[in-house]
Amino acid sequence: QVQLQESGPGLVKPSETLSLTCTVSGDPISNYYWSWIRQPPGKGLEWVGHIGSRGGTNYNPSLKSRVTISLDTSKNQFSLKLTSVTAADTAVYYCARFGYPRGDWSFYFMDVWGQGTTVTVSS
């Protein structure tokens, strides 16, 4: 059974960098795509970005200049870095498994989610 666990600081100061890690257990990370999603307090879901097993990435256009997602296959982890944070980046951050390649195509859906981690941006 695949499980995902987010970890990282719960409080980040404005203008600093938010760093989170998602640890995957139960399946090699190299077989799938992986995504970060966030949810500001009382609001809906927002896709942050995703990474493929070969390291290829896609980022939300509204965050692209500040986001980096990376993969560490040796630790079966993937990570999120968001620079120059403001209060608007305060949210619950989720990691999720986001599909897999199949032949010439890929299938994308978030079938396994972490429990989420709350990140507050405040001085």
Partner 1 sequence: DIVMTQSPLSLPVTPGEPASMSCRSSQSLLHSNGYTYLDWYLQKPGKSPQLLIYMGSNRASGVPDRFSGSGSGTYFTLKISRVEAEDVGVYYCMQALQTRAVTFGGGTKVVI
> What is the spatial distance between Cα 120 and Cα 72, in angstroms, rounded to a whole number?
26
Is residue 5 close enough to count as binding partner 1 by CB under 8 A? no
> Which of 82, 85, 110, 121 contacts partner 1 by CB under 8 A?
110
Is residue 2 close enough to count as binding partner 1 by CB under 8 A? no
Closest CA to 22 of 109, 96, 110, 120: 96
Positions 47 through 86 that interact with partner 1 (CB under 8 A): 47, 50, 58, 60-61
- Residue that is written with structure tokens 């995902």 in the block: 4
Which SS3 state, helix, strand or coil, does residue 120 take? Answer: strand
> Which of 42, 74, 104, 123 contacts partner 1 by CB under 8 A?
104
Which SS3 state, helix, strand or coil, does residue 42 take? Answer: coil
Is residue 107 close enough to count as binding partner 1 by CB under 8 A? yes
Token code pair at residue 56? 């290829």
Binding site for partner 1 (CB under 8 A): 35, 37, 44-47, 50, 58, 60-61, 94, 98-99, 104-111, 113-116
